[in-house]
Structure formats: C-alpha cells, structure tokens
Chains A and B, each alone.
Chain A
Amino acid sequence: MNNRPAEPVGSHPDNRLPVPIHRDRSWLEDLESRLDKGGPWGDWRLSKLAVEGEKARLVTSFEELQCLKHIGDLSPLPHQTDTARRVLFEMSGRAILADEVGLGKTIEAGLILKEYMVRGLVSKVLILVPASLVLQWVRELNSKFGIPAVAQKKMYSWENDIVVASMDTAKRDPHSEILLNREYDMLIIDEAHKLKNKKTSNYKFIEKLRKKYCLLLTATPVQNDLSELFNLITLLKPGQLGGQGQFAANFVVDKRKPKNQDQLKDELSKVMIRNRRGESDVAFTKRTVRNVGLNLSPDEQALYDGVTSFVKDQYQAAGGNLSSMLSLVTLQREVCSSRDAVFVTLVNLSKKLPEDSPLRDKIWELVYLIKNIKANTKAEKTIELIREMNEKVIVFTEYRATQEYLLNYFRDHGLISVPYRGGMNRGKKDWMMDLFRGRAQVMIATEAGGEGINLQFCHHMINFDLPWNPMRVEQRIGRVHRLGQTNDVKIFNLSTSGTIEEHILNLLHEKINMFEMVIGGLDVILERYEKKESIEKSLYKIMLESGNDDEIRQRLHSLGDSLEHIRRDLEQQNISEPLREEEA
C-alpha cells in the first residue's frame, strides 16, 4: 500500500467513495511556503492544544443533539428539545414552529440554530422579526445561546454572519437587493403569520430569498382561512400539501373548515410542530383573580359625575360625531384612576381651545372639583392590599400621571417603589428591573407590552385600572404568569362601582372570562372580531351613545355575546383541530 504512486493534487471525485470528496490542500501550501522561508514555525504545545480542542468539539454522531452541551446555564424544557430534535432529524431543518404563546418558540429556534452552528452546517443567518423584537432577539441569542447575533442598523450590518432585522427594513430597497444576492444557510422568521397572503411584498420577498434551512415561527398559523396555512407551507416546502387546487379539493370544505382531517394532520406533521399548553410538560401555575370593588368618596364621585355630564354634553353638541369625541371618554376613565390623570388631560384640553371659548369655564369648574379631592380611594386600598400580601407586587396603571402620583404616595407611606414605562431606554429599564428584584417591594408600570420585562420572581399583580383592550390585559398578566413562575399568580382588579370601569371589568371578567382563560385563543377571537371594528372603538361608542347605565349594560352584554359566539364558532369549526398533531 505504501508504494502506491502519488495522486495528482487537487479536488475531484474519487471513485473509491460513493460521494464527492473535497480536499482542502491549503495546509500543504502553507507548510511548503514555511519550508522555503525557513519558518516561522508554530509552538508544539499550541499545536497539540488545537488538536485537543478539535477533539473536544468534534461532532461524532449524525443524530445526537450537540447544542445542549454548549449552552451552559440554559436548561430547555423537554418539549423544546424534542421539537429541536424533530426539526433537525425528521424535517431536515425546514419547519413551522407553531407552539401556543408562552411555550418558548424562541428557545426552540435558538436550539436548532445553535445545533446547526455547532455542526458547522450554518454560518450565514438572517433573522427577520417585528421591529419591536429585534433587540430582544439579539439579546436572547447572545446571552442564552452564545450566538453572536447583531441588530441590523446600517448598510454594513448585513456583512455580519448573523443579523437580526425587521421585515420592513429587509424587504425595502436598497436592502432587499443586497439580501437577494446572497445565500443564507438559515432563515428564521418570527411572527410568520404575517406571511399568510401570497400577494404581499413580504411574501414575494421571502419567496425569492435563497436559503438552506428555514424556520417560521407563529402562534397562530391559521387565523381566518385555511389557505393561509397553505401559503405558509408553500414558502417552506412547495407542494407538501399538493398544488393550490389539489389542496382545496382534498382538504377544504369551506375556507374555515377542513376535511380529511387525519390525512391533513399527517401532512402537516411533516412540516409543522405545535405544542399546546394543555399537552406539554409545562406546568403553568394557577391564576386567582379577586375583583376589589370600591366606592368613590363623595368628592371623587362629584368629579366623576361632573366629567360624565361634560362628556355627554359635548357628545350631543357635536351631533354625535364620534371620532372627535373618543378622547373624551378617556376623561371618564381617568377619573377612575386618579385626579392627577384627569387634571393633566383637562389642562391640555383647555389649552387647545380658543381664549374665549365657553368650554374653558366648564373645564375650570371641573378643575375646581379636582381641588376638593383630598384622598385617592384606590391608592388607599392599594396600600392596604400591599401591606396585607407583604410580598413583591407589580401595580399596573394606564396613566403616567397616576404612576407619578402613586410613586409619591407610596414613598410618603414608607413603601419603596420603582417606576417602569415604555419611554425609558433599555439601560434604565434593566436598572428598574434590578431594583425591583432587589430592594423595592413594588413596581409601578405603565407598559406591559414590548420586550424584556419578565418578572417571574413576583406573583402578585394589581390592576389599578384596566386597559380596554383584552390583549393588553393579557400582556400584563403575561409578565408574571409565564414559564418559570413557580407560584400561583394572584391578580387584583380594582374597580369603582357605578362607573364605566365597573362595566368594563364586568365584560372582561364575566363575559370574556379573560382572567382565567389562557391566551392563545384570545388573539384569534379578537382578530376575527376586529375585522369589523377594533374592540376599543366599539367600547368607546357604547359608552358615548348609551343614554343610561342599563343601555350600557345591554350593549356590553351583546358585545360579550358576539365574542362568545366567535369563540364557540372557532371551537365548533374545529379550525385548530387538525393542527393538533401532538395528540393521540
């Protein structure tokens, strides 16, 4: 064997192997050139270390998850590693990750990406997410997975190996041209349900991008129409469900109603993984909700009545013109929160009016009513509740002014509290979180959405006032009731009787059963409801148009009914049923 004649140098197929072989001979050139020049030569200890290092990270098996050893502190949940395994070994790296909200799709995507990177199969990565999530993705990939992702900021950012960008940026010129001229080992798209329509520029852009592996993340793969699902899958694996015509013929009865469910389930399970809360290993703790009814003090009631009649008068004077009136309802809501909140709005309102407007006088009358108010019933109750629970608690309010008021009020009563709001920069937000984790008993937050507030260490929550959009209520709860929460979560809703607040709480609690219901279903219901009109607008209308409390109650009742109807509709149509391939 030793005397076999030397083969010509180069890279070409070798007929002894059933697959093409590529030989990298750069080492030989390197060695020869150093021989010519008489060095420089490497250190033998380092040479050995290099081999040891290579051994230590050698991927010795096609089918064993390597990434788990590389991620240190992070210990993914069983359903997350299972998902990663299936995507790698059964789906060859092209999949829709469709877990319900809160089960950690980002973790799953991170595991899959890390695994491919460890295996050296992926180095160029493009991650497209909604603009508000760009930084969160960058942070999570870096801190949890040690993946050096960067946020796209300038043109040269595209030169990085792993870039996180917003879809809106990426699809625009001149960015799109750059991206379409490259090839990506992996493409990840978060909130991929936005790609449901074939005709949109987003869809066409993604269709054209050249990619090897591809992950689409969405909690709601189907919202209205089965063809959305078809479109999503066509991005990944065209033809998986047949052509458009075949798909319609084989699987669709009505656009919302599938047929041949078993077969559809089967086909879907080849490209999509959907873990559900009920079925996963994730034990979510319980939520208990207590509605705390309060009576406004006579002074506060006087202000509320004053504001209410002011709003009604204005509405009638405007001849029922709704759009300009919407903000007036806010006044009523604000009275239920704090006098400070309503004061700020009133002052701003009067500033906008001409000097001689008679309305100014009316507004000033209201301001005088404000001056009479000496105490805030809700704030007193809140302190009482906080003292009772004697644990960390997050207080949510809709209004900046209320937040400021509460900070002062709590401080005067010897309670340490920290603020949190959307306008703070990242560093300040992190700082406030740290203070809350450490020294402060109370956090007062005006913002629940957006990124990065994960407060699993706290399991008490007080809704000082309520948003009118149920999704925002859910976002608030989601800050504490999430993966990693080990205690049952206690939610307190403050509501003042005889006010619009009471009506809204009634709707959210009794009708939508918002506080016990687990998310996932809610966004679908709302999206369908809001095809007609946004829920907040519906509520504003009801509040303005109704002559009396009974009418409000009735109209809210029917709104609740229509939401309930949609929900039952969804359940009946079984729209999500075929997606539940994890069952059985």
Chain B
Amino acid sequence: MTMTPQEVQEHFMTYLEATECSVIEKSSEHVTVKLSPQADKMLTNRPYYWGFVERTGAPAETLSFTFVFDPTKYDEALAKQQKNSASPAGQGQDPVLSRYYGTAPLLPVLGPGRIQREDVTYGSSRLAQIWNAAREEGKCVYLFQQPSAPAAQRGRSTAYEQWLGVCFKVEFSCDLKREELHFLGISMSSRAIIEHFPAVLEGRELHPRLPERVHVKPAVLTLTEAAALLEDYLIEKLSRLDYGWAAQARERLKQELAVIDGYYEDLLKEEDEEKKALIAEQYENRKSEMQWQYEPKVSLSAITSGLFHLCSPVSASS
C-alpha cells in the first residue's frame, strides 16, 4: 500500500501529540513543531547532547522542524505568499551585505532558533523513524476501559475481564518474503480467543488508570499460558495456508545444489591434498550460502502487546 499526504500527516500528528510536542504552525500541507524532549531524544539522534543535558542539568533546548507533507502544494503556497509580501528591493536580502557584494542570500540562521525543513512522504526514512519510535514507546500497554456512566450512577461494582492482546507479525521468507499481521486477543479468565481484537476495542475508551467501582475477574491463565495459547491458535491458522511458495523455494534450492554438485565433482578430483581441501571448503561455503538464501522459514514476532481490562461481556466476533 501507499499513503496520501493527509494520511502521512495524520500519522505524524498522532505521534507529535502523543509525545506532547508544541505545534507552532499547521496547514493541510505542513506542520511546524518544536519537539518535546521525549520526541527529540527519539528522533534527532543526539545522544551526546542529551547525555550532556542529563549530567549537567543544563536547560534542554529541543529542535524545531517544519515537516512538509505535500511539497508541491506547500511550495506553491509559499511562492504565492512571498509574491504578495515581496518588496521590490529583493526580499530577504541583507542590506549591508548586498551593498558590498551585490545580491547576497540571507545567511542561514544556525543554532537553536533554526527551523529545518524536511519533506516527508511515504517511504521517507523520517516516517519510518516515527513508526519505529511509536513501536518502541507503545509496545507494552496496560489499559482499562472507561465506564460509560459515572461510578455513582452504576450502583454495584462492574465486572471487568482481563484480556491479553498481541499484534503478531508473521514473516514467510525464502529468497523472497511475504508478511501478515494478526492482532489476537485472549481472555485471561475464560480462555476465549478473539481473532480480530481491534474490532472489540473499537468504540471503547481506554485509559491507563483503574476506574472506580470496578473489579477484575480472577485469571485462570498465567501470562505464559495465555501467550502459548495465542501462538498455538495462530500456528493452527497458519497451517491451513498454502505452502506452495516453500515447495518452490526448496525446488529452486535443489536445482542450484545440483548445479554446484556437478561443478565441484570434477574439481574435487584434484590430486594435491592441499588444493583439494581448499576446494572442498569453498564447496561447503557455497552450499551453506545457498541454504541461507533459499531455505524457507516462518517467523513470529510481536509488534505490540498488552493487557486490556474490558467491561464484560465482550461480544466475541470469532
């Protein structure tokens, strides 16, 4: 898939807001923002600076950026703006410098006050960095559903069910690769498994604090057991997929191995023991390179995981 400038901007704004950055200016094409210390540490790759700040207690000065999501439109808007406000004697000229050197460009502002422009579109490394930072900071959550009615109106305590939710990433790889995401949830008290967990979470307001007058049903599963059940469920599901790709990759590997077997068979007739050993080593290396390149495998990892405390009953859609 790819993303429109608006979608990219939404992703950016989510990150900037969640990390409490202060937005200086915003249009549909761009946002100018002063990063919060948290975001600055994740995005600007200045470990020495932050080390210095932390050791000396010096007041931290975070960087500011203008992120442009739709460069063409932004430039057009910028040009229009400049045209309207341009004075004939060359906008942005330093009067003293230009007297001596003719038209001289305005010296770039360096230091903390400087705002760097950066174009961000789908595929740019800054966007990937935002996602990676979000994953780093959001990979483990512990949340409670906020009750719809205030505690006082609800009478007796509401029963909450604890769910383990995990967004798994499945990678099918050989010399090529394909991926799937599976966001599963399992109830710690009833062992019920929900295949599309975000659908359950949808519409529930989640908050890190335990609300008043609720109680959590006792868990019958340990975390490890719950995790194993989820994995097991997922693997069961994966086992029903087509593994033609793996068979094909093994076929490719077999053919390649046959080719080098033929090639080295002759070479290994070498009389000189020393040379022969070298050839044999090369042969082994080449074979293991091929295994590395073609051998099909599946790997399972998690993007995020967390414990969700939801108002029961949860309507399991699966």
Across chains A and B, which 4 residue pairs bring their CB atoms closest together, nearest first? A53-B131, A239-B263, A46-B138, A70-B123
**B62 in the interface, Cβ–Cβ < 8 Å?**
no
Which residues A1-35 have CB closer than 8 A to chain B?
1-4, 6-9, 14, 16-28, 30-32, 34-35
Minimum distance in angstroms from B144 CB to a CB of chain A: 11
Contact status B143-A44, CB under 8 Å = yes
Contact status B123-A49, CB under 8 Å = no
**A60 in the interface, Cβ–Cβ < 8 Å?**
yes
Contact status A34-B122, CB under 8 Å = no
Report the separation of the CA atoms of residues A242 and B266 in the bound assembly, to the nearest whole angstrom.
10
Contact residues in A for B293 (Cβ distance below 8 Å): 92-94, 212-213
CB closest chain-B residue, reference A69: B2
Report the separation of the CA atoms of residues A20 and B286 in the bound assembly, to the nearest whole angstrom.
22
**A89 in the interface, Cβ–Cβ < 8 Å?**
yes
Contact residues in A for B180 (Cβ distance below 8 Å): 58, 60
**A54 in the interface, Cβ–Cβ < 8 Å?**
yes
**B262 in the interface, Cβ–Cβ < 8 Å?**
yes
4 further A-B contacts with Cβ under 8 Å, apart from A16-B236, A146-B123, are A30-B305, A46-B137, A46-B138, A56-B122
Contact status B243-A54, CB under 8 Å = no
**A565 in the interface, Cβ–Cβ < 8 Å?**
no
Which residues A29-62 have CB closer than 8 A to chain B?
30-32, 34-35, 39, 41-62
Contact status A245-B266, CB under 8 Å = yes
Contact status A92-B175, CB under 8 Å = yes
Contact residues in B for A52 (Cβ distance below 8 Å): 11, 131
Contact residues in A for B260 (Cβ distance below 8 Å): 237-239
Contact status B235-A16, CB under 8 Å = yes
List residues of chain A with CB under 8 Å of any chain B CB: 1-4, 6-9, 14, 16-28, 30-32, 34-35, 39, 41-63, 69-72, 88-89, 92-94, 119-121, 146, 148, 183, 207-208, 210-213, 237-240, 242-243, 245
Say yes or no: A49-B140 contact (C-beta < 8 A), given A24-B300, A237-B256: no
Minimum distance in angstroms from B139 CB to a CB of chain A: 6
Contact status B304-A50, CB under 8 Å = yes
Contact status A53-B123, CB under 8 Å = no
Contact residues in B for A237 (Cβ distance below 8 Å): 256, 259-260
Contact status B176-A17, CB under 8 Å = no
Contact residues in B for A23 (Cβ distance below 8 Å): 231, 299-301
Minimum distance in angstroms from B278 CB to a CB of chain A: 10
Taken residue by residue from 237 to 254, chain B's Cβ proximity to chain A (1 for < 8 Å, 0 otherwise) reads as 011000101110000100
Minimum distance in angstroms from B236 CB to a CB of chain A: 7
Minimum distance in angstroms from B316 CB to a CB of chain A: 11
Contact status B1-A56, CB under 8 Å = yes
Q: Which of B53-61, B109-117, B165-173 is the contact stretch? A: B165-173
CB closest chain-A residue, reference B8: A56
**B151 in the interface, Cβ–Cβ < 8 Å?**
no
A and B contact pairs by CB, cutoff 8 A, 30 listed: A6-B229, A16-B239, A19-B246, A19-B296, A22-B298, A23-B300, A24-B302, A28-B223, A31-B140, A31-B223, A32-B224, A41-B142, A44-B143, A46-B18, A46-B134, A47-B141, A47-B304, A51-B181, A53-B135, A56-B1, A56-B3, A58-B180, A72-B123, A89-B176, A120-B179, A121-B176, A183-B292, A212-B289, A239-B260, A243-B262
CB closest chain-B residue, reference A41: B142
Report the separation of the CA atoms of residues A7 and B224 in the bound assembly, to the nearest whole angstrom.
9
Contact residues in B for A93 (Cβ distance below 8 Å): 175, 293
Say yes or no: A6-B224 contact (C-beta < 8 A), given A24-B300, A45-B138, A46-B18: yes
Contact status B179-A59, CB under 8 Å = yes
Report the separation of the CA atoms of residues A121 and B172 in the bound assembly, to the nearest whole angstrom.
11
Which residues B287-318 have CB closer than 8 A to chain A?
289, 292-294, 296-307
From A20, A62, A69, name the one whose CB has the most chain B CB atoms within 10 angstroms: A62
Name B193's contact: one of A2, A17, A44, A46 (CB within 8 Å): A2
Contact residues in B for A42 (Cβ distance below 8 Å): 137-141, 304, 306
Say yes or no: A119-B305 contact (C-beta < 8 A), given A1-B236, A46-B138, A53-B130: no
**B192 in the interface, Cβ–Cβ < 8 Å?**
yes
Contact status A6-B228, CB under 8 Å = yes
CB closest chain-A residue, reference B1: A56
Contact residues in B for A120 (Cβ distance below 8 Å): 171, 177, 179
Contact residues in A for B176 (Cβ distance below 8 Å): 62-63, 88-89, 119, 121
Report the separation of the CA atoms of residues A207 and B173 in the bound assembly, to the nearest whole angstrom.
26
Contact status B169-A27, CB under 8 Å = no
Contact status A35-B228, CB under 8 Å = no
CB closest chain-B residue, reference A43: B18
Taken residue by residue from 155 to 170, chain B's Cβ proximity to chain A (1 for < 8 Å, 0 otherwise) reads as 0000000000011010
Contact status B131-A49, CB under 8 Å = yes
Report the separation of the CA atoms of residues A6 and B224 in the bound assembly, to the nearest whole angstrom.
8
Contact residues in B for A240 (Cβ distance below 8 Å): 259
Name B235's contact: one of A21, A211, A238 (CB within 8 Å): A21
List residues of chain B with CB under 8 Å of any chain A CB: 1-3, 7, 11, 14-15, 17-19, 121-125, 127-128, 130-135, 137-143, 166-167, 169, 171-173, 175-181, 183, 191-193, 198, 206, 208, 223-225, 227-229, 231-233, 235-236, 238-239, 243, 245-247, 252, 256, 259-264, 266-267, 282, 285-286, 289, 292-294, 296-307
Say yes or no: A50-B134 contact (C-beta < 8 A), given A6-B229, A243-B266: yes
Contact residues in B for A148 (Cβ distance below 8 Å): 125
Report the separation of the CA atoms of residues A50 and B232 in the bound assembly, to the nearest whole angstrom.
24
Report the separation of the CA atoms of residues A451 and B223 in the bound assembly, to the nearest whole angstrom.
59
Contact residues in B for A60 (Cβ distance below 8 Å): 1, 178-180
Contact status A43-B138, CB under 8 Å = yes
Report the separation of the CA atoms of residues A27 and B132 in the bound assembly, to the nearest whole angstrom.
15
Contact status B223-A238, CB under 8 Å = no
Minimum distance in angstroms from B102 CB to a CB of chain A: 11
Report the separation of the CA atoms of residues A16 and B1 in the bound assembly, to the nearest whole angstrom.
31
Contact status B140-A30, CB under 8 Å = yes
Name A3's contact: one of B2, B123, B191, B235 (CB within 8 Å): B191
CB closest chain-A residue, reference B190: A2
Report the separation of the CA atoms of residues A26 and B299 in the bound assembly, to the nearest whole angstrom.
13
From A34, A49, A54, A207, name the one whose CB has the most chain B CB atoms within 10 angstroms: A49
CB closest chain-A residue, reference B222: A6
Contact status B123-A59, CB under 8 Å = no
Minimum distance in angstroms from B177 CB to a CB of chain A: 5
Contact residues in B for A25 (Cβ distance below 8 Å): 227
Minimum distance in angstroms from A138 CB to a CB of chain B: 15
Contact status A17-B298, CB under 8 Å = yes
Say yes or no: A54-B286 contact (C-beta < 8 A), given A17-B238, A19-B296, A43-B18: no
Contact status A20-B297, CB under 8 Å = yes
CB closest chain-B residue, reference A71: B123
Name B178's contact: one of A31, A56, A59 (CB within 8 Å): A59
Report the separation of the CA atoms of residues A8 and B224 in the bound assembly, to the nearest whole angstrom.
9
Minimum distance in angstroms from B136 CB to a CB of chain A: 8
Report the separation of the CA atoms of residues A529 and B194 in the bound assembly, to the nearest whole angstrom.
74
Contact residues in A for B130 (Cβ distance below 8 Å): 49, 53
Name A18's contact: one of B229, B243, B264 (CB within 8 Å): B243
Report the separation of the CA atoms of residues A88 and B263 in the bound assembly, to the nearest whole angstrom.
24
Name B169's contact: one of A54, A88, A242 (CB within 8 Å): A54
Report the separation of the CA atoms of residues A53 and B192 in the bound assembly, to the nearest whole angstrom.
28
Report the separation of the CA atoms of residues A495 and B25 in the bound assembly, to the nearest whole angstrom.
61
Report the separation of the CA atoms of residues A118 and B125 in the bound assembly, to the nearest whole angstrom.
11
Contact status A18-B266, CB under 8 Å = no
Contact residues in A for B143 (Cβ distance below 8 Å): 41, 44
